[in-house]
Chain A
Amino acid sequence: MPDATQKDQIIKLAVLAVGGQGGGVITDWIVDVAESNGWYAQSTSVPGVAQRTGATIYYVEMVPEGDGTPVLALMPAPGDVDIVLASELMEAGRAIQRGLVTPDRTTLISSTDRTLAVMEKVEPGSGIGDPEPILEAARIASKRFLGAGLDRLAARNGSIISASLFGALAGAGVLPFPRESFEKTVGAGGGKRAEASLRAFHAGFEAVQQASAEGAQGFGEEPEVPDAPVSDDQLTGPEEDLRAWSGFMERLELDFPSEAKAMLRAGLEKVVDYQDVDYGREYMERLKGLYGFDAANGGATKGYRFTVEAAKYVANAMTYDDVIRVADLKTRASRFQRVETEMGVGGAQVLQVTEFMHPRIEEVCGTMPAGLGRFIMNRPGLSGALDRIVNKGRHVRTDTVRWFLALYFVGGLRRIRRRTLRHQIEVAHLDEWLDLARETMTRDYDLGVEVLRCRRLIKGYSDTHVRGQSKFDRVLSALPDLSGRDDAAAWLHRLIEAALKDEKGEMLDGALKTIKTL
């Protein structure tokens, strides 16, 4: 007669991982811990091609030693898993989706960090999945949910996720084995690697003990506008400029509504950083005008959204990405500092930096005085010939004297920027766009705000920039059809979202067709 009570002795554990994350390592460790505690353990996996960065699953069953070989299953079944380990938040979601996490029995231990899937990265806009539904489902579907930033914990300790996740498993107290025995498994082999693994193990162990479901980081959300302006302590520069800056700050306080201050402060900083304080003054003037227009058209009841969005997108439009900007950014002290920090360069190492540039004649002419630039661009033969000289991939070492000096010089062309061809083109575009926004806003406030937001579509360099420009134009081409409709703003917003979905704007074209049929 079968002894039905025995089946409850089996501990069933599934590991969901992304190929390359070391799912096999943690599985081997679990088997080792179980066996060293006198348990029988059987593990299985389906490696194959899924190991190449795809979603993978490993499965372990363990049971106290008894007579003969226990009959254990080779794959997890929905509703029949005690412990699920997920090395990535969306993989926890996948476990829930597959029914492996159930409220009557499953302890779900997951890293709340994200390893983004390809489809989340390729969208021209933001394709990052929202973690919130996963976290919510994890709380509902599991008996116990323990989430923590295990990937970052591992990285901080010079190890990989398998170690911190194994620590989390030990810390959760769901396996009847002592902590020391887990540590012995991780530390086996010794050496620096084992030491790092042990550190990550301990970090994971502690993390789940204080884990709460709120452990996830804020991926996927729009960035919060900082309430208080960043401290000016770090601000340095000529006396005159510093005085001008504090003048800006005073005017910001006096002349603008509180809703727009934070964005204006951020915009102003970007504009001044891009060019000079005069450019900041220009920005303030523009915004003052727009704010006046906003107030006159009932902006007060709308939270001055027109001013807020203008503060953001005018700043972005004024700081268009040109060769001068790139050269300036690449040669800054702050940039070298950042690279050193990111690469972990200390006093004992020497850093060399190679840039990947590919200028075209368009960029070169854009940096020339408008007349000369236009002269060349209007002559296809000439610009073509020059392009053949210029248009080349240039891999240059900006840590060296020669190329640093070259880029430093180009960055210094800031002084003539206002006279360049590119500046003329950008200013004309900016004026035209703002006129359209103002004009639209007088008829439909919300629609005017969306016209401002269209600026989000213009980004990138060369072809990507041209494509963005074309999307911008295509989205705004719907304006005549939408004007007068109650839901015009919502439609324009939808068009912007659609334009950000794919590279060529195929989704946008579909949406535009739909609008034609409205």
Chain B
Amino acid sequence: MAERSFAKEVQQLRIGEGEEFRGEGILAVTKALLECGVGYVGGYQGAPISHLMDVLADAQDILGELGVHFEASASEATAAATLAASVHYPIRGAVTFKSTVGTNVASDALANLASGGVTGGALIIVGEDYGEGASIMQERSHAFAMKSQIWLLDPRPNLEMIVKSVREGFELSEVSNTPVMLELRIRSCHMHGRFTAQANQKPKMSLAEALENPKRDLNRIVLPPASFLHEKEKIEQRWPAAVKFIRERKLNEHFGPEVGKVGIVLQGGMYNSVMRALQRLGLADIRGNTDVPLYVLNVTYPLVDEEFLEFARTKDAVLVVEEGQPNHIEQAFGAMLHNAGVDTKLFGKDPFPMAGEYTGAVMLSAIRAFLRDQAGGLLSDKDRAPNEPEAPLVPDLSKAVPPRPPGFCTGCPERPIFAGLKLAQEELGEHHIAADIGCHLFSIMPPFNLGSSTMGYGLGPASASAFNVEAKKRPISVMGDGGFWHNGLNSGITNAVFNKHDGVILIVDNYYSAATGGQDIPSSRAVNRSRSTSHPITDAVRGVGAKWVRHIDRTYDVTKVRDTFREALTTAEKGPKIIVASSECMLNRQRRERPLLAKAIGEGKRSVKPRFGVDEDVCTGDHACMRLSGCPSLSVKRLDDPLRDDPVAAIDESCVACGNCGEVADAAVLCPSFYRADVIHNPGWWDRFVGRRRAGFRNWLQRRRDARRLAFGFKAA
């Protein structure tokens, strides 16, 4: 069960010809796939296309009605390999994953797929995680397209164009027997917009029909001598076919006047930002009219030489808007101009910066600089010689505004694991900790400050494998359940067993692929009617030969976590020490349990609602608990007490009573300030009876003591 449900939104996938669709980019993509008669879809979750997987999962009934098969692939490599179904059979297939990291994982299958070529249209929808808010290394998918000769679509970012690209992508793939990559930038995926729908179509050939009438063609298999033929085929047949289709169908677009002193060539994905810059310079309006000739590359690979040269020949200077680096497109254009002997000046990474996202500010200043130098007449006086009005002096806030990096959510079950590890290190000294990709990577930030590297999803243990030597300290490595099933079982555990690795491996099991939005994985414990789940990680690691395996089935037991780490780090036993720490992702758990609790209370059923609190007069304000928590619901507050210098701990209503505060206070012997209050709603007669008796007893003793001393009364905080 994913973090976000699209059960309501997916109903829009049923709308017919001519109806208007309104919604998010990823939902539009799904609708377009159905309109194209796709036969199967697969993929692996990861921002920004996680929701595409969630939409597909929530739309299984609709997919079923149309005979479309949906695979929640084990990894991007699995997803890409799925497209093999389109090699021999005229079945359209689509897969999706995060890029470039997912494309890295998929590239083995992608290269094979691209070599042999496809019969049915094969679409790879990559979510380009680049720029502000990106969570991965900053690279381009473009290089993958070039190296394997996969066509790359980068449509203008509005839903109509994205939907059109899906439709044309399949056609392009089929006419050129080449897989096509559709690049969706991070903001397009989550963009709300609209388009006019077409009717959904059933696949022309079903997977069952293909299975029952198997085909083979030796020439499509990547093995010499066919592989040499594939290379020739790519150049002699597939490329020209693609270029012809792109030209004839006018996949790339022209805007603005045909002639002009200067022109701008841009990736389709950059169109709206370029237009906004031109709008701000008074050279374009919001309906798409512009004074500057634009050549928009909705297909960024392959480039069409004739189209570009035609555009460039009549201009003195051309600006290439190409985000990221290396600037493959600009370099290609340079070569085209040189080879054709055209002396049009080419600009790109100057005035644009070589590295970094083309934000609104970057776009405006680069285009303004280009126009000022090459076509000053187009600009107003103000933009030609910008004389910025004196802005009022806004105080520098860089010291005043605290950074707010992402961290563990309220009640996260991973927090106590790292609290326990931090405590173990306080006893045994600092260790080398190899981190991994997933929510658990937040351990590298305050307050835990644990972990020194990440090498890729599921590769945490693998990245500690060099440290398999005799030493006074053992290496520790971390991986999540997501990474474990993605590849870590083999790359991490099997490798460690095989090589007799003597380190400690922590597997964080929160029942989901949590960082990507709570998708189910093989060890998920929730009931899933379309997948086989509840396969314990401990069984898997024992299955590949691990001997020292400890399972902590409630991560909030900080003392046990610390002691287990201590044991793993000090035991005489050789070989990998594997600790599986399991507790359900709190976001998912709360989403399931909170409405049930509210309903039960509303219906008058006996329910216990726990929450933690801090006795503010017991708390001394040393904040030691914060340094083992960082929970959003555990904060500090100032008391109205002149004797107190420092704020004390306080827990707000968002507390989900995970127990970390109390456990940490106990395990680290911090202080007795924390308490858990269990409020029994709709108590039964026995609860009430016992409660009254206890309260009566307490009140009697309290009155007795208060009568013998000065009591200053109850002060509300």
Contacts and interface: CB of A to CB of B under 8 A. Distances in A.
Interface stretch (A50-58, A199-207, A422-430): A50-58
Given A53-B407, A234-B713, A338-B717, 13 more contacts: A2-B279, A46-B187, A71-B284, A74-B191, A94-B404, A115-B632, A133-B397, A245-B710, A342-B677, A349-B679, A356-B662, A395-B666, A460-B624
A137 B399 CA distance: 13
Contacts of B699: 333
B680 A350 contact: yes
A341 B677 CA distance: 12
**Chain B: interface residue count, which band?**
35 or more
Contact of B613 (A273, A333, A342): A342
A77 B402 contact: no
A93 interface: yes
B254 interface: no
Given A225-B642, A336-B698, A352-B677, A357 B709 contact: no
B360 A73 contact: yes
A219 B665 contact: no
A77 B364 contact: yes
Nearest to A89: B401
Nearest to A503: B627
A311 B100 CA distance: 64
Given A399-B694, A468-B622, A352 B678 contact: yes
B107 to A, nearest CB: 23
Contact of A334 (B409, B666, B715): B715
Interface stretch (B209-217, B452-460, B645-653): B645-653
Given A3-B285, A122-B447, A338-B716, A464 B670 contact: yes
Contact of A122 (B621, B623, B715): B623
A129 B636 CA distance: 12
B313 interface: no
A367 interface: no
Contact of A76 (B360, B397, B666): B360
B205 interface: no
**Chain A: interface residue count, which band?**
35 or more
A506 interface: no
22 contacts: A2-B285, A42-B191, A48-B135, A69-B193, A71-B158, A71-B276, A74-B191, A77-B359, A118-B407, A119-B446, A121-B626, A137-B397, A140-B393, A234-B713, A237-B707, A316-B643, A333-B699, A348-B683, A356-B672, A393-B666, A404-B697, A462-B671
A270 B439 contact: no
A116 B635 contact: yes
Interface in B655-671: 661-663, 665-671
Interface of B: 22, 47-48, 129, 132-135, 157-158, 160, 186-188, 190-193, 271-273, 275-276, 279-280, 282-291, 359-361, 363-364, 391-395, 397-398, 400-410, 439, 442, 445-447, 515, 559, 611, 613, 615, 617-618, 620-624, 626-627, 630, 632, 634-636, 638-647, 653, 661-663, 665-672, 674-683, 687-688, 690-691, 694-695, 697-699, 701-703, 705-717
Most buried by A among B193, B273, B634: B193
Contacts of B669: 358, 360, 461-463
Interface in A298-349: 312, 315-316, 321, 325-326, 329-339, 341-345, 348-349
A278 B192 CA distance: 71
A348 B191 CA distance: 47
B286 A356 contact: no
Nearest to B601: A349
Given A47-B190, A75-B359, A312-B642, A129 B402 contact: yes
Contact of B400 (A49, A68, A93, A116): A93
B47 A77 contact: no
B712 A269 contact: yes
Contacts of A225: 642
Interface stretch (A174-182, A259-267, A487-495, A510-518): A259-267
A404 B666 CA distance: 19
A444 interface: no
Given A2-B289, A103-B392, A351-B679, A129 B401 contact: yes
A411 B701 CA distance: 12
Nearest to A342: B613
A353 B187 contact: no
A20 B409 contact: yes
